[in-house]
Amino acid sequence: MSQLFAAVYEIHSATLGRPSLLLNLVVNRVNGSVVGTATVATVLGERYEMSVRGHHMEVDGSESLQAIVLAGTPPIFAVQEEQPSSFQALMVLPTANRDGQTYFKMSLGKVQPRVIDVRDGVARAVLPETIY
């Protein structure tokens, strides 16, 4: 099994009208690092993207679970109004890494900050289409 792999997840809330999240990640199994992008899409069609970094780890317990913890990496220079200023996510996945539960939070703007907060996210892996 490769030590470096791409992982793409779509995350939706169980509550109607909540934003969705697309995580496009590269995971390094050797050191447990994760890098990529998080794109939040609101029901009004707004899209917000932020680079993310984090860790991939195994959670000990009666059943083996995988976890991905992410934090946003905002630009060094001043963030324009309505651009993301922070991002946090915790995703817990079964061993197969296909689906799981997610919590994520993104802050937007500086003058009148607002927060997108989804505590009941359901993550599903986006599998590549089979080419015949």
Contact between residue 105 and residue 121 where contact means Cβ atoms under 8 Å apart: no
Q: How many domains does the chain have?
A: 1
Q: Which helix (H) or strand (E) holds 107?
A: strand 99-108
pLDDT in tens, 51-65: 999 999 988 888 878
pTM of the model: 0.88
Does 48 reside within a domain?
A: yes
Per DSSP, 124 falls in state E
The enclosing domain of 17 has a CATH number of 2.40.128
Does 131 reside within a domain?
A: no
Three-state secondary-structure class, residue 120: strand
Does 130 reside within a domain?
A: no
Q: 33: which 2 tokens?
A: 């690092």
pLDDT at 96: 75
Does 39 reside within a domain?
A: yes
Does 54 reside within a domain?
A: yes
Question: Is 2 buried (19+), middle (13-18) or exposed (0-12) by CB count in 10 A?
Answer: exposed
**CA–CA distance, 54 with 72 (Å, rounded to integer):** 9
Does 132 reside within a domain?
A: no
Does 99 reside within a domain?
A: yes
**Domain residues for 109?**
4-125
Residue predicted with more confidence, 71 or 14: 71
The partner residues of 69 in beta bridges, in order of sequence, read 55, 90
